[in-house]
Structure 1
Amino acid sequence: MTIIQATTEHLDDLVPLFDGYRVFYRQTSNLNSVKAFLKDRLTKQDSVIYIAYINDIAVGFTQLYFLFSSVSMKPMYVLNDLYIDANFRSKNIGTILINKAKALCKEKGYKGLIIQTEPTNPAQHLYQRLGFIKDKDLTFFWKNEQT
């Protein structure tokens, strides 16, 4: 398995995975919008995307967004997206992608990682096994109904 940081050159590999991720979260498939969204993220470099490959086949990805903690005055990442193609699950790909994100935080001296996911996501046990702790302070969300 190979893990690489995605660039715009990897869009064709990333688009079907990201679309599958969105469908998993009950969104309508839209390859054109997915491609435009990911191209924008990669061009603006406002996220870090790692792709997992097995035998030159893209099998999973994770996307990290930048955040800052005002209290500790340190940067951190939110691991907002993690998806493994259904045909490749239970092969430790999620663990390897998360560990890659942890290594990036250590390398940069960042405070840590926040994972944003639905409370019913079956990957909850994976996050806890990898040392993530449920944080009861991060429980509120305001949604702009105009978007």
Structure 2
Amino acid sequence: MSFSIIKATQEHIPVIIPLLDAYRVFYEQASDEFAAEQFLKTRFEQNDSDIFLAMTDGITAGFVQLYSSFSTVSLQPVYILNDLYVSTDFRNKGVGAALLKHAQQFCEIQGYKGLALETAVDNPAQALYERLGWEKDVHCFHYFWTAR
């Protein structure tokens, strides 16, 4: 199967919405395509993320979304690979690997230190991450505080 990776623009929002919604449902959130559309519009308006799409025969097979951040310890910028999703019809066909490799190349081209991601402990994609050179951080814990 051949596919290409392109940088998404606002014009791609309609094809990203169902993927973003399916991604959220995968993480046990209620389906809400309207909210997904508003979220994407805001990302593009504020230019605060980079989204790449895997395309094949005019179909969007998956996406990856990166957010820019900084490492104070290393004094370098880093990307947070916040979202990676491949449509169920295109899984196990190299789409996820291609999106990850593209994100890695984009990071290098931008001169960033690297990419960070967080995933569920039972996510089967961990094998893919490790195959592509990602290292599991076992030296620290991840904490999150929720505003009420």
TM-score normalised to the size of structure 1? 0.96
> Residues 76 and 112 of structure 1 are in contact (CA less than 8 Å); yes or no, is this contact kept in structure 2?
yes
Q: Distance between the aligned counterparts of 1:120 and 1:143, measured in 2? A: 22
Write the letter of the residue equivalent to 2:41.
K
Partner of 2:132: 130
> Residues 80 and 117 of structure 1 are in contact (CA less than 8 Å); yes or no, is this contact kept in structure 2?
no
Partner of 2:82: 80
SS in 2 for 1:76: strand
Q: Distance between the aligned counterparts of 2:11 and 2:44, measured in 1? A: 10
The alignment status of 1:27 with 2:29, answered yes or no, reads: yes
Partner of 2:41: 39
Decide whether aligned partners of structure 1 residues 69 and 58 sit closer, same or farther in structure 2, where only a CA change above 3 A counts.
same
Q: Deviations over 1:106-127 (max 9, x none)?
A: 1111000011111111101000
How many aligned positions are there? 146
Deviation at 1:138, TM superposition (A): 4.5
Decide whether aligned partners of structure 1 residues 137 and 46 sit closer, same or farther in structure 2, where only a CA change above 3 A counts.
farther
4+ runs deviating over 6 angstroms: none
Q: Distance between the aligned counterparts of 1:138 and 1:96, measured in 2? A: 29
Decide whether aligned partners of structure 1 residues 57 and 138 sit closer, same or farther in structure 2, where only a CA change above 3 A counts.
farther
Counting only pairs closer than 5 Å after superposition, residues 114-125 of structure 1 correspond to structure 2 as 114-125=116-127
Mark the runs of 5 or more structure 1 residues left unpaired by the alignment. Answer: none
TM-score normalised to the size of structure 2? 0.95
Partner of 1:14: 16
Write the letter of the residue equivalent to 1:101.
A
Write the letter of the residue equivalent to 2:127.
H
Write the letter of the residue equivalent to 2:23.
Y
Percentage identity across paired residues of the two chains: 45
SS in 1 for 2:104: helix
Deviation at 1:7, TM superposition (A): 1.0
Decide whether aligned partners of structure 1 residues 27 and 130 sit closer, same or farther in structure 2, where only a CA change above 3 A counts.
same
Alignment counterpart, residue 112 of structure 1, candidates 101, 111, 114: 114
The alignment status of 1:55 with 2:57, answered yes or no, reads: yes
